[in-house]
Structure formats: structure tokens, C-alpha cells
Amino acid sequence: MTKTHLLLILILMNFYYAFFAQTEQDTTLESVLDLSIEELMNTKVSIATKSEQKLSEVPSVVTIITAEVIKNSGARYLSDILQYIPGFEFSKGRTGANSIGVRGVKDPLTTSRFLILKDGVPYSDNMYSSGMSNTKQLDLNSIERIEVIRGPGSALYGRNAFIGVVNIITKSGKVKSGIDVYASAGNFNTFDYGASGEINTQTLSAYLSFEKIKTDATDSKLANGMGGESLWNIGADDIFVNTKIKYKDFVFTGFYSDIKNSASIGPFATDSYKRIKAGIYSLDFNKTITTNIDFNAKLYGRNELQIQYLEIFQAGMTDELAPNLPVNAVYPNGMYATPQFDSYTYGTDINANFILFKRNRALIGLQADYYGIKNVKLKSSYDTYNSAPLTYFEAGNTIYRGKDTQIEETRGWIEGNGHDYSNYAIYFQNIYSPINNLNFTLGGRFDIDSEFGSIFNPRIAIVWNTTKKIILKLLYGQAYRAPNSQEQYRKTGFTIGNKDLKPESIKTSEFSIDYNIGKNINTKLVIFYNIIDNMIYAQGITSGTPGAPYSNIGSNTSIGFEYEYKMVINRKSYMFLNYSFTQSENKITHSGLTETNPHPDIAPHKINFGINYKLTRHINLNTNLLYRSNREKYFAISKTTGDYIYDSDGNKTYVSKDDVGDYFLINAKLRLIDLFKTFEISAEVYNLLDEKYFDQDTEYTNQPKREGRQFILSLSYKL
């Protein structure tokens, strides 16, 4: 039986189960179903306009993910829940870093084309512009809901709101006072525990949470350089602390993380990891001045210390670098590097919403950011500019440097050992409703960037609720992505910076139609067309060639559609099905020639299906299915000449020797709720069928398989 046949059978079974479950409900449920759909369409979000607006009226394609949906799904990481959004896909390279693809655009090393906000504050560092590149990095238990824009967001959010925006809204203690404690354990050496507390009074609400997680994240093995195999080292050992305090018109939000993300650097399994200590904080003031004017002000900051402990080769490795050349003959005490940096962001965002006249609402805002990296250092046991081993003399003997004898790289890792940036912006938006249920949105943002000067990004939208059943949206927007510090100023390593880079730009056109079938079914079709110019890649990223500089290599065109089907069975039971098709092509210049190729590492076909069914007041069952088609591989390029490598038939060869993509996953979770007062037990399984599937790396021909079947048992209790 093929994967496609199995997928169809499971979907049909779940459709039957859903409809059968629906018929078992009391007929009085129809009014509840109608109310649930109405509540869905009238849910207010702020990510699309920086002001609350009904989901049915926002001038963007927006997805909302609630805390209840996250809990039901059994998601372990943020990527586990975002991967079910149409157009999204995730993969892991050799280091274990996540690569996010959205609507046909993907970067294998960073998540820089996707803006991640935590309570409206940029979550990414300034070296790589990565906010969720590794295993955990966020605690899902503290999330109240997630709002997601598919498409450009620079007209409101500026740089890096390129192919999408995610705003993670944390809990605020608005429900009721109390304390929750929870713990979970599973295979892959996974342990997770934490606690949270809430206070809610007439004038004050507060939330505080703590979480600790440790996991190997996989059961896959990788050659260890000594004739055997070791665990693929991509685990996590993290601590998270969240707080949110609201008093009258003020809201303070704080977040601290101490993250240890393991990584496998080089051709063998090694004990590399990076340690990230980060703090995010903001103070918001929100005031309704009159019935026609709302005023909002935010002060925010983010500070991070990141130290990377890189073990490229372990001391004593006997496997060969080349024929008859073992590792320990070149690096007898191993090959090590320890780069580190501080990243900082300080900013303010002030805006006002006001009603000009009866059918016109406007927004105007000012934003200023000061950000950068500093205290950049690099120690190593080898020459980071030519990879030669370093030695020193002791008692008349030549000693090769190793892990404990690294020395500082005086030539530097980043030019100037850091860089400061600034950005000032004014943005505006006007929503005009000539008749009921028809909105015209015109807006834009003018940025003055310390690196690139003035940049303007507009947005235009028409949203028409033609009837209660049909919603039409016609959208156009532009966005830009500013190069990050390592793309501009890196002096040594796998990729080299380029100070002359131009910002990437994107122009996106979208058409969407929502159609409500009956009282409990919603369908949506979105068609999109993207044009990206000045696309930034290093030849090393697209080919596996080390030491290559970043450059604006060309352009990308992607076109596709996203279909969504949602059904509310009852207020606690629901199902969804979505399918995404993307055709994405890069037009790049390589070795003096311009050619068009499919964008690498993108799955043209993506299918997601899920059903959540509340069997009784105490039992909830959730099942999710995911399919990704084959992905385009990276072309192999000679590391000495920089030219493509061809086979005997004259065809270009690929880096990866594995089948990349074409996999089908099933995840499930059973919750036993309030069995003993407020005590809950849940059992989760990921990759239920133990599917063997692979992602790809840009340099190495074989990649460890992705994680197999994982079981997790969780307990929680509300005091």
C-alpha cells in the first residue's frame, strides 16, 4: 500500500468518524454550532493592523492558534504546531538547526526571512536573525495564543517581516488565581517539568511561569570518527521563565531563557553546543482617550549572550579525512573553536488609532530601534582562515592545540568585533468602509535605516464580506529583509560577509475566498504570487562550497495556492484539512552564467489533516497527519573550482544521496482531564508509524534520519 493510499484511507476514516460523532449530538446543538462559527469569524486579532479587528475583516491571511489547540495537539516545540499551517514546512540540517520554508522560500542556515515576535517584541538575535533555529527555544505552556500572518508584513513591522510574521502572546493571569504544576517524560531521554501561577483581581492580573526541559530530541546515529556511531547530537537542556503583570493601563512582560542547544558540526558526531542566555522585556501603555481615539505606547528590549562551543573533530579520531589521511594525523588533539557575542535591541513603538469619521478608521505610528552585536570574540585550536592546525612549544616539544589550549583569533571573526545599527520609521494605515461589510485598506511604512537609507513598503487590501457565507480578499504588499551581521561583516568560517549587500525585497499579490458551508463548515482558498529581488545567499549555502561570500545572487518567483477545510463538530471537537501547492524557481548567477532552477529544499505538495474529538467531559483524543512531497536537492559543486559537478551522462549531480522528503507522519495525543478534581494525565506519540525519512544538508552527502517514534507521558495538577 502506498503512502498516498494510506493517507486517503485515514482521512476518509476520520471524516466518517467526525460525521458519525456529529450525528450522535443532540439536535439542540445546532445553535451552538452556529454560535461557534460566528465566534470564529468575529474573533479579534491585532497582528494584521496593530489594532483589534475581526478575523473576517483583517487585510491579511491570518491564522490563530489558541492555548487549547496547542495543548490538544501535543506539540513539543513551536515548529510542531506551526507546521500544520498551510504553506509552512520545517527541516533540519546536519547541525540540527531548523530551517523554515514558507510559500516556496527557505534558508537552510537561519530563520531570518520570518519575523518572530514575543508579545510584540522581536525574538531573534542580530547575528543570524534567527528566532527558533534550534530544538526548543520557547516554552509552549506559557502561550495564550499565536497569531500568524502568511505573507509580507513590513508595511507595519519593518525589516525582516518578509514572508510571514508570528506573534506569540503569553498568558496574563486573566482567567483566575491558582497554581499549575506539570511534568512529562519520554524516550529520547526526554524530561520536562514546570509550574505557573496566576493572580487576578479587579485592578491587577499577573502570570509567572518556570519550565525546565532536557531531551536528546532524536534516536538517530551518526558516524563518530572512530569507526563506530554515536547519537546525533541535537538535543536541548533549557530553562524558561515568563512573567506578565497588568495594572490598570500598564502591562509589563518579561522573559528569561538559559538555553543549551547541542549540535553536530562537521562530518562526524561531536560534542558541540551553544549556550544562549537571553532576556526580553517590555512595558506597554494602552489607553482609550475618547470613544474615537486609542493610544498605545511600548518600550522594549532584548539582550543575549551567546557562546558556541564547537568541536569539529574530537581528539584521537581515526577515520579518514582523505585516503590514507586519518583525522588524528592532522589534528591529533582535535579541532575546536569558541565564538561568542552579545546581541542587543532597544526600541519604542508609539501609535494611535482614531476614527476620522463614521466609516473611516486610521492608524499612525512611530517606531525607533537601536540594535546590534558587540563583544565579539573567537578562540580556536586551528587557523580559522585556512584550517591549519596550531601548535606551541613546551619543554622543547611541539604540542598541537586542543580543546583546553585554544587561543584568541586576533584577526577577528566579525569586522570591528561588533556593529551598531539604528532604524527610524513612520507607518500609517487607513481603513475606509464605503458600505457595510466592504473595507478598503491603504497603508505603508517609511524606514530610515542606518545601513541602507530610506525604504518604503506599501500595502493595499480590499476585503468584502459579500454575505455571511462568503468573504473575498484581494491583497498586495511589499516587504524587505535587511542583511544580518554575519551576512555583512563575517571574516572567517563556512560563509564570508559582504558589506555591499542590498536588502532583499518581495512583492506579494494574494486573493482569498472564505466560504461557510452550512452552520459548522468553513473553507478557504488562497492564491498567491511572490517576486523576490536581490535574494541573499552564499555560494556555500546553495552548493556546499566553504569560504564563499554572501551575495545578492538573483531573484525568486513563487506561485501557489492553499486550500483549507475546517469543521466544528461541537464546541470542543473539530477537524481540519489543508493542502498547499507551491512552484518556486530561483533565477541565479553562478560562475558568470544566469540560469533558472527550482528553489532547493521546498516540497511542492504539502498536506495536513487533524481531528480533535472530546469523547466525554474527561476524555479528549487528537490525531494529526502530515505529508510532504519530494524536495529539490542542492546541486553539488567542486570545492576547488566552484563549478558544478556532472555525472557521466552530463547531468548535474546533487549533494545528498538520500531520498529527501516524500514522507508521511501521524501524531496523536490522549488527554484524561480532571479525573480527580483538577488532575490531568496525557499520553502522546509522535511519528506513530515510525516513518524513516530524511532532510538534507548543504555539504554532506548523507544525513542522519529524522527522529523515530517517540512516546511522552505527561501529568498536571491545578492547586
| Distance of alpha carbon 707 from alpha carbon 709, whole angstroms | 7
Write down the pLDDT at residue 29: 30
Is beta strand 250-263 parallel, antiparallel or unpaired with respect to 236-247?
A: antiparallel
Average pLDDT over residues 306-327: 89
Most confidently modeled of 70-84, 169-183, 497-511?
497-511
Contact in structure between 81 and 576 (CB atoms under 8 Å)? no
Distances (CA, A) of 203 to 173, 250, 251: 12, 11, 12
- Range from 105-119, 230-244, 640-654 carrying the lowest mean pLDDT: 640-654
Residue 650 pLDDT greater than 80, yes or no = no
Segment 138-166, tens digit of pLDDT: 788 899 999 999 999 999 999 989 999 99
The residues pairing with 221 across neighbouring beta strands, listed in sequence order, are 231
**pLDDT per residue as tens digits for the range 24-36:** 443 333 333 333 5
144: left (phi over 0), alpha (psi -120 to 50) or beta: alpha
Length of the chain: 719
pLDDT at 485: 92
Q: Answer yes or no: is pLDDT of 648 > 70.
A: yes
**HSE-CB of 559 using CA atoms within 13 angstroms:** 0
CA–CA separation, 323 and 341 (whole Å): 38
Q: Is 23 exposed, middle or buried (0-12, 13-18, 19+ CB in 10 A)?
A: exposed
CATH 1.20.1270.10 fits 3-293+348-361+419-718, yes or no: no
- Helix (H) or strand (E) segment spanning residue 678: none
> Higher model confidence: residue 173 or residue 531?
531
Q: What is the model's pLDDT at position 53?
A: 83
- In the predicted structure, residue 588 carries a pLDDT above the cut 60: yes
Helix boundaries (H) for 321-413: 327-330
Domain spans, the chain: 3-293+348-361+419-718
Full-prediction pTM beyond 0.85?
yes
Amino acid 642: pLDDT: 62
Percent of all residues in the chain with a pLDDT value above 70, rounded to a whole number: 90
Residue 681 has what pLDDT?
93
Q: How far is CA 547 from each of CA 112, 407, 642, rounded to the nearest angstrom?
A: 21, 21, 11
Local confidence band at 42 (pLDDT 50, 70, 90 cut-offs): low
- The mean pLDDT value for 397-420 works out to 92
Flag the least confident range among 98-107, 496-505, 551-560, 588-597: 588-597
Query: 78-137: per-residue pLDDT in tens?
Result: 888 999 999 999 888 888 888 888 999 887 766 778 899 999 999 888 888 876 666 556
